[in-house]
Amino acid sequence: MDIIKIYQDILEVIPDATYGIDIDGKVIIWNKAMEKITNVKKEDIIGKGDYIYSLIFYGKKRVTLADLVLNKDYKVGYNYYKNFKCNEDGSIEGEAHSEKMNYYDWGKASLLYDLNKNVIGAISISRDITEKEHYKRTIEEKNIKLKATVEQLIASESQLKAQYDSIQMYLGELEEIQQKYKIAIEGINSAIWEIDIKNKSLYISPEFAQLIGVDFKNKNVHEILDKSVHPDDKNVLLEEYKKYESNKKQRIYSQIRVIDKKGNIRWYLVNGKGVLDLQGNIKSISGILVDITQLKVQEKYIKFLSEHDHLTKLPNRRKMVKILKQELKSNKKGAVLLLDLDNFKVINDTLGHAYGDKVLIKVADILKDIENTIAFRMGGDEFLLLIKDTYNLQKIKKYADRLLNALKDMENGITGSVGIARYPYDANSLEDILIKVDIAMYNAKNSGKNKYIFFDEKMDMNFKGRLELENILREAIKNEGFTLLYHPIVNSQSGEIEYFESLLRLKEKKISPDIFIPLAEETNLISDIGKWAIKEAIIQIKKWKEKGYKSKPISVNISPKQLYDENLIKFIKDTLSTYKVDSSLLEIEITENVLIEDEGKVLKVLDGIKKLGVKISIDDFGRGYSSFNSLTFIPVDKIKIDKSITDEFLKLDIIENLISFSHALNLKVVVEGVENKEQYLKLKQYGCDYLQGYFFSKPLISEKIEKIYNNVY
C-alpha cells in the first residue's frame, strides 16, 4: 500500500494550503490550495529539495515548520516564527510574514508515519491570516486613537464638539475597514456568513448565494430561511440560536439541508459563534458553512447496511426491534408471524450454501410481495412478518395461508413452520411478544411442521421464566455467580495479542448474555453487575502481572444505563487505586446509542473516565444511530467495526476508507469477526490496527488464556 498516495488523496481536497517533505527534505505533497496561493504546480515541485518551498514562500532559503518538526530543532523556531509553540501531540505551530508575497500565514506542522509507525517525513499546513493581521493592527491603532479622543472629551468640555467629530471620523474609518474585510473574505472558497442581530439581516459569501439562487440584499433571516433551507430544518437552526442565546451552548453547531436553485438538496454543516459589543451583548453571529453532502450519502448507505440483511436486503432484527418497539409504545394493534423454514439445514448440506442462499432470497421475495406487511430477516432461516392494524383472527389466518401456499410453489418441497402472536392481546412488551411468537413457532414445528399456530397461554411453558431469570441474576450478584471470558485482540502488524475483551457469563447457568443483559438493564441490576465486571477485570490484570506476564489491557463492555451514574468515575478510580493497576490498562467499550438520552450527563461521565487515563472505544461501529456524528462528540480512542458488517465492507472496499478516515482523526481501528486468513491479510494490508475473531481464538477462561498469552499469529 502506497502510504504517500493515501496522504496525498486525503490532503488534496482540504481547503488549507498543505505541503509535505520526506526525511531528505524533498517535496512529496503539494495540494491544490498550495498551488493556488503560490502559482506553482504540483508537477513542477514534487521531488525537489534544497528548501525550494521556503524560497517560494519567503524569497530565501530558510528552515520552515516542516523542517523544525522533522529535525526537532525547536529552539530555532522562535527566531523565525511569531507565537511559536510546541503542542503535546508533537506538532508545532507559529505565525510568519512573507515579504516576497506580502502574506501573513499561520502554519502547523507534524510528523508523517508509515504503517509501521516509522517517521517518513513531515507535513505543514498554511492558513492565510493577512486580512486578519491587517484588520487587527488597524483596529488596535484606531482603538488607541479612540481612547485618546475619549480622554480628551473627559478632560475638556470645551472640546466636546471637535472630539465628537473626531470620533465620528474614526467610526467611519472602522466601518470602511469592516467593508474591506468583507470584500476580502468574498474571495475565499468557503461559504462565510454573518447575522446582524439588530437588523436581522444576513451576509453570506457570494458563491453560496449564487449556488442557491437567492438575493440576500435587504432580506431578513426568516425570509432567507423560508426560501433556501429545507422546511424540516428551519426550526433546527432557530433552536440552536435559542440555546446559544441562553448560554446553554458555546457555539452554534448544526447540520441542515439547503435547496439550491436547481431544486437539489445539499447538506451543510453550520458552525458559528457570536461577536459581542462593548456592553457584552451579542452584536452579530458569524461562522462558516461546510458542504457535507457526500459524507451524508456515505453515512446513509452505512446506516442502510447496519439495518438490513446483506443477502436478502430485507430489514434485519435491529430494524425490527426499532419498528416493533414503536408499535407497542403507540398502543397499536397488530400481529407478528415468525417463519422458520423446515429442514433448511438439509438443503444447505446436500445442495450447498450457495443454493441455500438462493432459497433464502426467494423466500424474502415472497414475503416482500405480501401487501400491508413488513418483512424482516431475523437470522439464519428465520423471518418475521409484521402485520400492522390487524387484530382479526380470520384476516391474520389469510396472511398465514398465503405465506405457506407460496412456499409450496417453490422447488425442492420447501415448507415452513409459522408462529403467530398478537399485540397487545398476547403481550405488550417487545421481549414478551418475541418470546411468545417463538414459543408458537416451535409448537408448530413440533406438531408436524408446514403449519401455523397462534400463541396460547397453555403452551407457554416458560411464562414465569422472566421472574425466574431475574431471581437468578440477583443470586449471582450476591454469591459471585458471574465469570468473565477473555477474547484476544491481535496487533495486525506484529501478530501479538495486544489486549483482551472481557465477556460476561453466568457460571452455573448456560443462559446467553443476549437474554440476561437486557433484563438486567430493565430491572436496574446492570449497575451492580457492571461494577463487578470492571472490578474483576482489574483484579485479573493484577493476577497476570503477579504471575510474571507482561501487562496487557482488558476492555470491559459498559451499558448505556451505567453512564447515567456519576459515581461510576469514583468507583473506577478507587478500584484501580485499591489493586494498584495503572489506568492505561483498563478500557471501556460503549455503543453509539449512549447519547440517545441525556447527552450532557453521559458526556460528563465519559469525560471523567477519560481524565482518569482509561481508554474508551466505540463497539459495534457502523450499526449505531449516528456513526459519523458520534466521532465528533464522544471522547474515544478507537472504534470497533462490528462483525455483522465486516464481510460486506470488505467486499465494497468501504472498510479501507473507514480506516483511513479514522486514522486521520487519530483513532485506532479494531475489526471484529475475522474468521479466515484471507480477511486477516486484507485487513492487515489496509492498515487496520487490531483484529479480533475466531481465526485467532474463541473467548476463553483466564487459565486457558495463559496458554496463549504470548502467542504470535
The 10s digit of each residue's pLDDT in 255-294 is 888 888 888 888 888 888 877 777 777 788 888 888 888 8
Mean predicted confidence (pLDDT) in 110-132: 85
pLDDT at 234: 81
Mean predicted confidence (pLDDT) in 54-76: 84
What are the pLDDT digits (tens) for 219-235? 666 676 777 888 888 88
Specify the CATH superfamily of domain 3-128.
PAS domain (3.30.450.20)
Tell me which of 78-92, 288-302, 516-530 is least confident.
288-302
Residue with cell 414459543: 439
Handedness of CA 542, 548, 553, 554 (dihedral sign): negative
**Phi, psi angles (nearest 5°) of residue 616:** -130, 135
- With 50 as the cut, is the pLDDT of residue 388 above it? yes
pLDDT at 272: 84
Q: What's the rounded Cα separation, in Å, for the pair 376 and 338?
A: 10
- Which residues in the chain are classed under CATH 3.30.450.20? 3-128, 133-295
- With 90 as the cut, is the pLDDT of residue 684 above it? yes
Q: Which fold has domain 133-295?
A: Beta-Lactamase (3.30.450)
Tell me which of 388-397, 452-461, 500-509 is least confident.
452-461
Q: Which residues pair with 275 in a beta bridge?
A: 284
Task: Tell me which residue of 416, 407, 401, 413 sits closest to 338, measured CA to CA.
Answer: 416
* pTM of the predicted structure, to 2 decimals: 0.46
Residues 6+ apart with CB under 8 A from 259: 212, 228, 229, 230, 265
Q: In the predicted model, what is the mean pLDDT of the chain?
A: 84
Q: How confident is the model at residue 122 (pLDDT cuts 50, 70, 90)?
A: very high
pLDDT at 626: 47
Q: Which fold has domain 466-708?
A: TIM Barrel (3.20.20)
Q: Which amino acid is at 641?
A: I
CB 569 within 8 A of CB 601: no
Pairwise pLDDT comparison (587 vs 445), residue with the higher score: 587
Q: How confident is the model at residue 494 (pLDDT cuts 50, 70, 90)?
A: very high
CATH class for domain 300-463? Answer: alpha beta
pLDDT at 146: 66
pLDDT at 153: 54
- Which residues in the chain are classed under CATH 3.20.20.450? 466-708
Residue with cell 530565501: 60
- Which residues in the chain are classed under CATH 3.30.70.270? 300-463
pLDDT at 189: 43
C-alpha distance from residue 679 to each of 25, 90, 410, 483 (Å): 37, 34, 35, 31
Q: What's the rounded Cα separation, in Å, for the pair 312 and 315?
A: 9
DSSP 525: -
The percentage of residues in the chain with a pLDDT greater than 90, rounded to a whole number, is: 40
Q: How confident is the model at residue 587 (pLDDT cuts 50, 70, 90)?
A: very high
